[in-house]
């Protein structure tokens, strides 16, 4: 099976069938080379209205199917993702700059999301309630209806399917808006997978589009739930718009995640952990290790070893070469990263390695002695930059770690794991990893941040997914009509 072939999808969008996008076709560009590698259909706000009408009709019959039939579609989708891993990884490398191991992880996790979601249709979906009246009283979870999913460019398969799969499994229809830069690996792939898996036409719609399409998805009356993954800036706008239209918005946003390194660790091992947390996928991960808070007793040794370790990492085209880091997504992101590095060095940080680029290939960069006033400390970088800031005491590192609006992920490296757990209790964070870096994700675990990182755990695990994509309905049942005073 070939998922994406000439003539199947070029210049088209998926609205229950392959149709022309109202915005015409646009070029999908490979960041590593600047070459056009695809032509995709661009949706418009009018396409959202059409898709929503189709989705509403299709959702009713989809939700009415026996739960085993919905489960089977999700299982087949997982099997198809695994069977077509090679092709999907190629698109991930070419569209998003993912190296092969990171592509492997995305496909494996995406398949796992489908397998986990396949258990949701048979999961208990209600509870019996006490009542002071002679009646049967219970609460049940019913599909929300049509769910809008807005997914980003950086990890396009996982960050789409983790909402798409459970929403479908629970009886909803889904309109997916992938980032236009990753329209194939974040959108077309899923249209083809679910088409082949036997999902009825119209239940999943894929509409690559710009911000106006996202806004139309949020305001569309037929769409009752929005699952958004992206920047905090955009997430605030989505949340505000959703609130105005009285619909739920599950927001998974940015991060400025800290890795706390205590003085009792093996420094060499710690730098390996820290390097992966920052430089995996060139730092273009929301939960990337963005701040290395290292005890002053080992800060210089840690910084030197980290710089030496990452200075040897090869950077290049992940589709054609064996590399550790691929390109940044586009020139705007590269320039933003370089601006943060340059201004932080001007503000007192020391450049220990990196700080240079060739086209979109940014060298892994380590900044030492980074002051809290430096932009690389205060802002989400979303690039291959490791700022190291020393601390002297537990109270100081707690203050440093919490000096941010974000609260997505936290890593603590220490031989005293119970002390690490106590430390974690003092730092608001949606995710905590003792003796690991900040980039962790599993389909079975709830995922989400606090503060400027989002609205809490809205994905992962049956309870979070059921709460995210269903409504609670209270039902009572009497055997006879009651008698009222009038």
Q: Is 30 a catalytic residue?
A: no
Q: Which DSSP string corresponds to 244-257?
A: HTT-EEEEE----E
Distance CA 77, CA 92 (A): 18
- The encoded tokens of residue 91 equal 């698109």
β-strands 12-14, 18-20 pairing? antiparallel
Q: Is 286 a catalytic residue?
A: yes
Beta bridge pairs of residue 294: 261, 390
Q: Which residues fall within 8 angstroms of residue 105, CB to CB, at 6 or more apart?
A: none
Q: How many other C-beta atoms can be found within 10 angstroms of the C-beta atom of residue 398?
A: 16
Q: Which element (helix H / strand E) includes 70?
A: helix 67-83
Tell me if 54 sits within 8 A of 13, measured CB to CB. no
CA-derived radius of gyration, the chain:
24
Q: Do 278 and 337 touch, CB atoms closer than 8 A?
A: no
Per annotation, catalytic residue among 114, 220, 286, 380:
286
179 with 214: CB under 8 angstroms?
Answer: no
How far apart (Å, rounded) are the C-alpha atoms in residues 15 and 4? 16
Helix, strand, or coil (residue 305)? helix
Q: Read off the tokens for 336.
A: 């933003």
Reading the block at residue 170, the tokens are 């629970």
Q: Which two tokens stand for residue 435?
A: 């003796």
Q: How far apart are CA 208 and CA 149, in angstroms?
A: 11
Which tokens is 472 given?
């609670």
Q: Which of 90, 116, 252, 380 is catalytic?
A: 252
Q: Report how far residue 82's alpha carbon sits from residue 197's, in angstroms, rounded to the nearest whole number.
A: 13
Q: How do 470-477 and 136-143 pair as beta strands? A: antiparallel
Nearest in space to 30 (alpha carbons), one of 187, 152, 209, 153: 153
What's the distance, Cα to Cα, between the start and end of the chain in Å? 68
Distance CA(190)–CA(195), nearest Å, equals 8
So which residues are the catalytic ones? 252, 286
């Amino acid at each position: 099976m070939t998922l994406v072939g000439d003539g199947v999808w070029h210049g088209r969008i998926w609205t229950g069938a392959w149709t022309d996008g109202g915005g015409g076709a646009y070029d999908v560009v490979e960041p590593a080379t600047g070459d056009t590698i695809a032509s995709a259909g661009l949706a418009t706000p009018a396409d959202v209205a059409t898709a929503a009408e189709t989705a509403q009709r299709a959702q009713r019959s989809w939700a009415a199917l026996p739960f085993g039939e919905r489960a089977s579609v999700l299982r087949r989708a997982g099997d198809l993702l695994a069977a077509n891993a090679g092709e999907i990884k190629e698109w991930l490398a070419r569209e998003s700059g993912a190296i092969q191991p990171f592509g492997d992880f995305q496909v494996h996790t995406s398949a796992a999301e489908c397998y986990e979601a396949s258990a949701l249709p048979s999961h208990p979906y209600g509870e019996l309630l006490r009542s002071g009246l002679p009646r049967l009283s219970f609460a049940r979870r019913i599909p929300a209806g049509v769910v809008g999913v807005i997914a980003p460019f950086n990890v396009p398969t996982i960050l789409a399917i983790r909402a798409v799969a459970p929403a479908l499994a629970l009886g909803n229809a889904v309109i997916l808006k992938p980032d236009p830069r990753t329209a194939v690996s974040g959108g077309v792939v899923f249209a083809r997978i679910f088409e082949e898996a036997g999902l009825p036409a119209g239940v999943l719609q894929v509409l690559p589009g710009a911000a106006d399409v996202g806004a139309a998805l949020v305001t569309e009356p037929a769409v009752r739930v929005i699952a958004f993954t992206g920047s905090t800036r955009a997430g605030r706008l989505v949340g505000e718009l959703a609130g105005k239209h009285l619909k739920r918005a599950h927001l998974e946003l940015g991060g400025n995640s800290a890795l706390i390194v205590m003085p009792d660790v093996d420094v060499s091992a710690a730098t390996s952990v820290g390097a992966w947390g920052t430089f995996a996928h060139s730092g273009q991960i929301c939960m990337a290790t963005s701040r290395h808070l290292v005890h002053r007793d080992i800060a210089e040794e840690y910084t030197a070893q980290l710089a030496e370790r990452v200075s040897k990492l090869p950077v290049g085209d992940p589709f054609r070469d064996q590399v550790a880091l691929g390109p940044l997504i586009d020139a705007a992101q590269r320039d933003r990263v370089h601006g943060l590095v340059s201004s932080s060095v001007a503000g007192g940080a020391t450049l220990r390695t990196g700080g240079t680029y060739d086209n979109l290939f940014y060298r892994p960069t380590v900044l030492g002695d980074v002051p809290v006033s430096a932009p690389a400390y205060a802002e989400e970088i979303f690039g291959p930059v490791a700022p190291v800031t020393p601390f002297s005491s537990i109270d100081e590192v707690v203050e440093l770690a919490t000096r941010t609006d974000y609260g997505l992920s936290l890593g603590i490296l220490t031989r005293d794991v119970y002390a690490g757990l106590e430390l974690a209790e003092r730092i608001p964070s949606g995710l905590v990893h003792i003796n690991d870096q900040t980039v962790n994700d599993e389909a079975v675990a709830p995922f989400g941040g606090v503060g400027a990182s989002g609205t809490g755990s809205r994905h992962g695990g049956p309870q979070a997914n059921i709460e995210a994509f269903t409504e609670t309905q209270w039902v009572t049942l009497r055997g006879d009509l009651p008698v009222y005073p009038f």
